[in-house]
């Protein structure tokens, strides 16, 4: 899963006050990462049962998820170095798709907050 902010839309704000934009963007991406992690663990999928998050038997697969935050970009993924079988399980049960769909509404609200905070801080109310 990737979230990438459109750089061009923030270019004017970045020129005006890069520190505010950088901090607000970092906060947004951190919140999105936490939302993915929370949703992934909130409703684990078990064979023969309901749920949609990461499949859980031992918890190893659930703990194998990582986030990589770069400027204007977040990548949330199942780290196959921590659980190499994850790629095979995901083909049968694509839980990251479910996590992404379940997190969209909250992340969209966070994106609106990001833009409001940036424009408010720059005096463009």
End-to-end Cα, the chain, rounded Å: 32
Whether 125 is in a domain gets the answer no
Q: What domain range includes position 52?
A: 2-120
Q: What would the pLDDT profile of 50-70 be if each residue is shown by its tens digit?
A: 668 888 888 899 999 999 999
Greater confidence (108 vs 6) lies with: 108
Counting Cα atoms < 13 Å in the Cβ hemisphere of 18 gives: 3
pLDDT of residue 56: 81
How many structural domains comprise the chain?
A: 1
In a domain, 80, yes or no: yes
Q: Give the contacts of 101 (CB within 8 A, at least 6 positions apart).
A: none
Q: What is the pLDDT of residue 8?
A: 64
Check whether 39 has a pLDDT greater than 50: yes
Backbone φ and ψ of 35, nearest 5°: -65, -45
The predicted model gives 33-37 an average pLDDT of 95
């Amino acid at each position: 899963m990737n979230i990438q902010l459109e750089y061009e839309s923030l270019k004017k704000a970045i020129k005006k006050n890069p520190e505010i934009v950088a901090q607000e963007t970092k906060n947004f991406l951190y919140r999105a990462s936490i939302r993915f992690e929370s949703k992934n663990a909130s409703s684990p999928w078990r064979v023969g049962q309901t749920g949609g998050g990461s499949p859980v038997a031992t918890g190893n697969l659930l703990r194998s998820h990582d986030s990589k935050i770069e400027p204007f970009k977040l990548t949330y993924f199942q780290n196959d170095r921590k659980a190499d079988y994850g790629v095979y399980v995901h083909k049968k049960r694509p839980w990251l798709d479910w996590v992404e769909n379940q997190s969209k509404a909250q992340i969209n609200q966070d994106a609106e907050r990001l833009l409001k905070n940036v424009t408010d801080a720059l005096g463009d109310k």
